[in-house]
Chain A
Amino acid sequence: MAAVTPDQLHGHHAPRGVMRWLTTTNHKDIGTMYMIFSFIMFLSGGVLALTIRAELFKPGLQVVQPEFFNQLTTMHGLIMVFGAIMPAFVGFANWMIPLMIGASDMAFARMNNWSFWLLPPAAILLIGSFFAPGGATAAGWTLYAPLSVQMGMGMDLAIFAIHIMGVSSIMGAINIVVTVLNMRAPGMTMMKMPLFCWTWLITAYLLIAVMPVLAGAVTMILADRHFGTSFFNAAGGGDPVMYQHIFWFFGHPEVYIMILPAFGIVSQIIPTFSRKPLFGYASMVYATASIAILSFAVWAHHMFATGMPAAGQLFFMYATMLIAVPTGVKVFNWIATMWRGSLSFEPPMLWATGFIFVFTMGGFTGLICAIAPIDIQVQDTYYVVAHFHYVLVAGSLFALFAGAYYWLPKWTGHMPSEFLGKLHFWCSLVFFNITFFPMHFLGLAGMPRRIPDYALQFADFNALASVGAFGFGLSQLIFIVVVVKCIRGGERAAARSWESAEGLEWTVPSPAPYHTFEEAPVVR
């Protein structure tokens, strides 16, 4: 980060100041920008979430109007999915994949810059849509027709923002696939690659396969809105449910796009702090690939309440439950890696073990939602909200923090504060559960999602969840302190910053020089 300068190998004409960041072709610069951008988006989406929780602190309307509340839930989802979680993982990929496979940079360094710099314009369109006449889109992050066909200019801005983010994701994914396939150092065979590279290779494949489908879906909405087509209009022979099929054909692989790199990060960290090699490396690779392939055949489990034929419900129910098998393989392997290991719990390991524990709870509620007769009862209730926050916050986000604490020494050259890291973890874990665990009960009791007001019997759990949410939000400020302290100084990190960390990234100095592996290392 700050310790990395472009002068080490560039000549005198290397751009400085803001031009360095606008024009850079360096994977470390670009990775850093991805992460800073995603953290800003994380805070923005978090502010929206806290506004939602403030409104839901007690029954009745006190903070926002219902129309604006719907905009908040919609934009919270869109910003967190496309602005925070996905770019954060791409940032990790940029920084770490070339270091892990012994490549000098990403395969397409200029295109890499464009992939990043398309995100701020998309964010401007998306967040700017709050100020459009009629406000931002309020159709829910899934943008279901016919709601999305009816809204104002904010919806159009969101559609074009999604197009631009899609272009960014596809270019980023192609870059990662080609880097992994073509840039490995001599001797770095596919089955010797760190698991993070494997999970990203498979994630990138999913991105290339489904981002264009999302582009097609929102293009159809745009055409229905402005050009008189009838894709989602039954009077013209179309079908609003068709939108849901197309969207979730993208949407379900998308949830694996947000979790597979998290699996990769955790699979790097658990062996280091267990001082044992990863248990079942090959089965981890196969499990990841199985999840990716199955993810194309489960999308309609999001649609059990749409009146699908029973044969369809059964197929999608069983296919979904099948995903528990490879996911179970992964959880088993992580625990088997820790089994009889020489464990220590520095911040990265705390976050990783916390991830396993809380993510698995989200996995179990996922299985419950997969069962069609149950899902029809809990569809669109807070039970579902609880489920996907357990996998996205306690899954993706916890793994991102685990990875950040793990590689901060490599990025900044200084060890992150162990005390603050642990404080950040325990505050996050406790407040996360205070926020989201009561939502299971709310959902089972019948509280629908996406409403600004609710019946009195839901008041206590909602108040509790709101307190937890503010605690969770404030806990994240600790992370800013950790990172700033880490950049500015602290205990110097060795090349191998953690005692038994394995992999090429630990063979280069900390902080990693601006250019690494210009001479490809030989892996035996």
Chain B
Amino acid sequence: MNRASGMHAGDHYFVPEPSKYPIVGSVALLLFGSGAALWLNAVPAGRWMFFLGIATLIFMMFGWFGQVVRESQGGRYGRRVDKSFRWSMGWFIFSEVMFFAAFFGALFYARVLSVPWLSSGDNAALLWNGFSGAWPTAGPYAADPFTPMAAWGIPAINTLILLTSGVTLTFAHYGLLNGKRGQLKLGLAVTILLGAIFLALQAYEYIHAYEALNLRLESGIYGSTFYLLTGFHGMHVTVGAIMLTVMLFRTFAGHFSPEHHFGFEAAAWYWHFVDVVWLLLFVVVYWL
């Protein structure tokens, strides 16, 4: 029940009626978590629980976000709700930054502290004799040699692609602000396309790494940090691209006005965030 109905928008803060979606999402994550744990321990039912959990989660998101879009289009969100959304998206992105910080921290710790310690002092003299500690390394007990990923091939092209996508997205945003719907659609579509090319190149790079470079998850600390950092980044690009695709569909459906388009902006903020993470990745994972 919308207790703001009949009032001027903005006078009352919108409080949604009871909703079944959260509990559906909880069941989804229960299936997802327990399924993953079972699957990893070779219990056959685990895989199906895992995928059922994901399917339930997708169903929940469709329903929940769809309802939010309808409420927004129905004019039920006043100025203060808009402000709440802005605050929350900012804090959510901050939490994502801290998630990546854990993995960047692990990379920093390995490169600056633990690998040099392994290759110096008593460790070098008594334990890991002959381990040079030069980065990149798979560690002192590496059985399988690998070739590190070069920065100035696909990764540099990918950097260019993501930077360009930031520009095209801003181009789309200006189109939205100035009421030029064609510019908005074109900018969004090009951004999504660039994101897709980026992901395709990343996938190609992974195959190349496994097949030609023998660079694997098992390649010691270099392989660990390389794959988890780029992998989580790739997952975030995927999520960002999905968000932008939803925004493109909403644009075709006639949503968003120059004054009222928080959904678009949230997706754009998120996209710029994955962009910045990539720049850091490019410098400390690929280049240096």
Binding site for B on A (CB under 8 A): 9-11, 13-15, 19-20, 22-25, 103-105, 107-111, 113-114, 117-118, 120-122, 124-125, 128, 132-133, 152-153, 156-157, 159-161, 163-164, 167, 170, 173-175, 177-178, 181-183, 208-213, 215-217, 219-220, 222-231, 233-239, 241-242, 245-246, 249, 515, 518
Contacts and interface: CB of A to CB of B under 8 A. Distances in A.
30 contacts: A9-B3, A19-B18, A113-B19, A121-B27, A124-B30, A156-B37, A157-B37, A160-B32, A164-B33, A170-B95, A175-B88, A178-B91, A182-B83, A183-B13, A208-B91, A209-B95, A213-B101, A220-B224, A228-B218, A229-B224, A230-B220, A230-B224, A235-B139, A236-B224, A237-B114, A237-B115, A237-B138, A237-B139, A237-B221, A249-B102
B23 A22 contact: yes
A471 to B, nearest CB: 37
B241 interface: no
A212 to B, nearest CB: 4
B210 to A, nearest CB: 12
B87 A238 contact: no
B54 to A, nearest CB: 14
Contacts of A103: 13
Contact of A226 (B32, B40, B109): B40
Contacts of A223: 217, 224, 228
Contact of A182 (B29, B80, B138, B216): B80
Interface string B63-100: 01000000000000000100110011001101110111
B245 to A, nearest CB: 23
A212 B99 contact: yes
A10 B19 contact: no
Contact of B29 (A23, A128, A164): A164
Interface residues of B, number: 69
A83 to B, nearest CB: 15
A262 B192 CA distance: 47
A143 to B, nearest CB: 14
A212 B96 contact: yes
B98 A208 contact: yes
B36 interface: yes
Contact of A25 (B17, B30, B36, B118): B17
B155 interface: no
Contacts of A111: 22
B137 interface: yes
Nearest to A119: B26
Given A125-B37, A164-B33, A236-B221, A228 B216 contact: yes
B25 interface: yes
A167 B102 CA distance: 16
Interface in B217-268: 217-218, 220-225, 227-228
A174 B109 contact: no
Contacts of B222: 237
A261 to B, nearest CB: 18
Nearest to A208: B95
Interface string B137-177: 11111100000000000000000000000000000000000
A120 B115 contact: no
Interface in B90-147: 91-92, 94-96, 98-103, 105-106, 109-110, 113-115, 117-118, 137-142
Contact of B87 (A10, A181, A241): A181
